[in-house]
Amino acid sequence: MTELSFIHRYEPATDQGHPPLLLLHGTGGDENDLINLGRMVSPGSALLSPRGKILENGMPRFFRRLAEGVFDEEDVRFRANELADFVAEARDAYGLGAPIALGFSNGANIAAAMLMLRPEALAGAALLRAMVPLSDAPKTDLAGKRVLMVSGQMDPIIPVDNSARLAASLASSGADVQHETLPTGHGLSQTDLQLLLKWLA
């Protein structure tokens, strides 16, 4: 593992035809969490998986929150920029193209913030159980960027209208957004996998 600004795991591509994936774990996960998911949904892709730097009761996250569903937005901005800088470092170190972010929960939220603040860092994003990361997101140009959002109808953490608002905000910035709402909670289901496979293909 090359020494970069985030503890991370890197797996080189075995198929250059697949885009690199930036894997972003949920609260309490780490750099190993989504490796198998990445291998499953985009076989052959290079995988870049950083560990969030914030600890909440010992559990890694990508940014601070003040309460469940209430984000420290100043920290969100700082961390999204810090993560975008790491992506630039890693692209240099490993010779990668712009990655597609694949984020779950807290990882999906930081990926959404990166799209809003540093769109050049990502080629697109698959956001699983994401919510609005910034109440006053800057207007940015996301033309040409594909975004898949998958929400849970019965998600106890994220109100349905919140994820719909995020989808609308990304679409209004020009992103090509596909937003699916599944009859499920916050955890991932088989249908999430099917949607990811189809979208990444």
Which CATH number does the domain housing residue 82 bear?
3.40.50.1820
C-alpha dist (Å) from residue 92 to 97, 143, 169: 9, 24, 31
Confidence of residue 2 (pLDDT cuts 50, 70, 90): low
Report yes or no on 3 lying in a domain: no
- What's the pLDDT at 1? 61
Report yes or no on 101 lying in a domain: yes
Report yes or no on 1 lying in a domain: no
In this predicted structure, the answer to whether residue 3 has a pLDDT above a threshold of 90 is no
Q: State which residues form the domain around 123.
A: 8-200
Residues identified as active-site: 105, 155, 186
Report yes or no on 2 lying in a domain: no
- What's the pLDDT at 68? 83
10 φ, ψ (degrees, to nearest 5): -135, 130
Lowest mean pLDDT segment, chosen from 27-31, 78-82, 133-137, 174-178: 133-137
Q: Mind listing the pLDDT tens digit for each residue in 23-67?
A: 999 999 999 999 999 999 999 999 999 999 999 999 999 999 998
